[in-house]
Amino acid sequence: MRTVFWDYDRDVMKMIDQRLLPFELVVPEYETYQAVAEGIRDMVVRGAPAIGAAAGFGMALAARQSAAADRLGLLRDLEAAGQYLEAARPTAVNLAWGVRRLLRVAAGEELETADEVRDALLVEAQRLADEDVALNRRMGYNGAELISDGDTILHHCNTGALATVDWGTALGVVFAAHEQGKRIHVLVDETRPRLQGARLTAWELQQRGISFDLIADNAAGHFMRAGEVNIVLVGSDRTAANGDVANKIGTYQLGVLAKENGVPFYPVVPTSTIDLDLPTGDLIPIEERDMDEVLIVGAQPIAPTGITARNPAFDVTPHRYVTGIVTEAGIVYPPFVKNLRAAVAAAKAIDWDDEIGVE
């Protein structure tokens, strides 16, 4: 099952509610873009590419919700819906990328009526989702070249099928290496405070029968120093033009520890996550979430009442800690300023019709 999809029988969007995993698999229906935005904010759906796909289908819903009879009125409603969706979470650039991709299609001169725009948006949202799956597989096999038989991989957060439409980014590399028959082991950071590693990555690895151990986030340095880690693989919510990588909080310390211990550190990043408009990672907006996510685990308070906490959801790993960046267009090495731009261009040149099987 895909993480985010359109149910053509019921003519609604559906998303797996990731807040309930691994204990319950619930797939609610979404009929409005406002509800989709709320689902993104509350992390029903999370992971940069999955958020991008949700934004795409959210825009298709917005087009259906709009009562506009003419094309220009519909475009105005779509602009407003796009701004509402983009405000849901600030760090993952795929959200804005998904919205803008749909807005570009909506503005197409060849679409004459509002209904033609409505139809075209659902087609484009579906295409965006299908491309995500195809490019993740490609990226996974590109990255699997880095993995040798017997390797132990350290992984942070959840970057698997759940973080994308299907397959995954960094975890997609793990899946590809496993499919190639390599005997691998994964050390899974639990990823406080939302526990995406413990709840979601552990669930996905267990389902695929891949060997792993769950570790407390603060055990990662110990395992690297002990020589038990061959490679660190992480995802990214936004990668700046110079190769600075924003990802789940805790990634920066992994990058520093990896360099200190001579362990290669590779973010696995679809080119949709590369923001060439931002020269450095210092300009990436970092989402700060509710302090209760730190103070309460499940329903259980874990600290004295009345205290405050800080809860940045992401951090930026400067490119000097990044060995290379795996993309659907290949593995990119320094100098990132030049080579990331080339990778974005190369990804655009891929024949996605062929990859997703469109006639």
Catalytic residues: 237
Least distance in angstroms from the C-beta of 169 to ligand MRU? 4
CB nearer to ligand MRU: give 178 or 248: 248
Compute how many other C-beta atoms are within 10 angstroms of the C-beta atom of residue 25.
11
160 three-state secondary structure = strand
143 binds ligand MRU (CB under 6 A): no
Least distance in angstroms from the C-beta of 330 to ligand MRU? 18
Least distance in angstroms from the C-beta of 116 to ligand MRU? 33
328 binds ligand MRU (CB under 6 A): no
CB nearer to ligand MRU: give 92 or 114: 92
Q: Which residues, at least 6 apart from 305, have a Cβ–Cβ distance to it below 8 Å?
A: none
339 binds ligand MRU (CB under 6 A): no
- Write the Ramachandran bin of 168: left for phi over 0, alpha for psi from -120 to 50, otherwise beta: left
Pull the structure tokens for residue 76: 């105005």
Question: What are the C-alpha distances in Å from 103 to residues 74, 81, 224?
Answer: 11, 10, 45
Least distance in angstroms from the C-beta of 299 to ligand MRU? 20
Member of 39, 47, 193, 243 binding ligand MRU (CB under 6 A): 47
Do strands 325-327 and 300-301 pair parallel, antiparallel, or not at all (unpaired)?
unpaired
49 binds ligand MRU (CB under 6 A): yes
Member of 66, 126, 201, 236 binding ligand MRU (CB under 6 A): 236
Least distance in angstroms from the C-beta of 326 to ligand MRU? 12
Q: Do 232 and 248 contact (CB within 8 A), yes or no? A: no
- Write the Ramachandran bin of 167: left for phi over 0, alpha for psi from -120 to 50, otherwise beta: left
CB nearer to ligand MRU: give 136 or 323: 136
**Could you give the residue ranges of the DSSP H alpha helices within 13-92?**
33-41, 48-65, 71-86
Member of 237, 244, 315, 328 binding ligand MRU (CB under 6 A): 237
Query: Looking at 19-27, 231-239, 300-308, 330-338, which segment touches ligand MRU (CB under 6 A)?
Result: 231-239
- Residue number, nearest CB to ligand MRU: 235
87 three-state secondary structure = coil
Member of 13, 16, 36, 48 binding ligand MRU (CB under 6 A): 48
248 binds ligand MRU (CB under 6 A): yes
What's the CA gap between 68 and 59, in Å, rounded?
A: 15
Among positions 194-213, residues that touch ligand MRU (CB under 6 A) are 196
Do strands 238-240 and 245-248 pair parallel, antiparallel, or not at all (unpaired)?
antiparallel
Query: Looking at 25-33, 115-123, 235-243, 277-285, which segment touches ligand MRU (CB under 6 A)?
Result: 235-243
6 three-state secondary structure = strand
Q: What share of the chain is helix, strand, coil (3-state, %, to 5)?
A: 45, 15, 40
- CA 166 to mean position of chain CA atoms: 11
Among positions 109-138, residues that touch ligand MRU (CB under 6 A) are none
CB nearer to ligand MRU: give 118 or 238: 238
Least distance in angstroms from the C-beta of 357 to ligand MRU? 23
The number of C-alpha atoms within 13 Å of 179 and in the hemisphere containing its C-beta is 13
Q: Do 232 and 265 contact (CB within 8 A), yes or no? A: yes
CB nearer to ligand MRU: give 49 or 324: 49
Q: Which residue has the tokens 């923001």?
A: 275
Among positions 156-195, residues that touch ligand MRU (CB under 6 A) are 157, 159, 163-164, 169
CB nearer to ligand MRU: give 40 or 106: 40
- Bridge partner residues of 288 (DSSP): 312
CB nearer to ligand MRU: give 195 or 344: 195
Member of 58, 197, 235, 255 binding ligand MRU (CB under 6 A): 235
Q: Which residues, at least 6 apart from 292, have a Cβ–Cβ distance to it below 8 Å?
A: none
Residues that bind ligand MRU (CB under 6 A): 46-49, 92, 157, 159, 163-164, 169, 196, 235-237, 247-248, 313
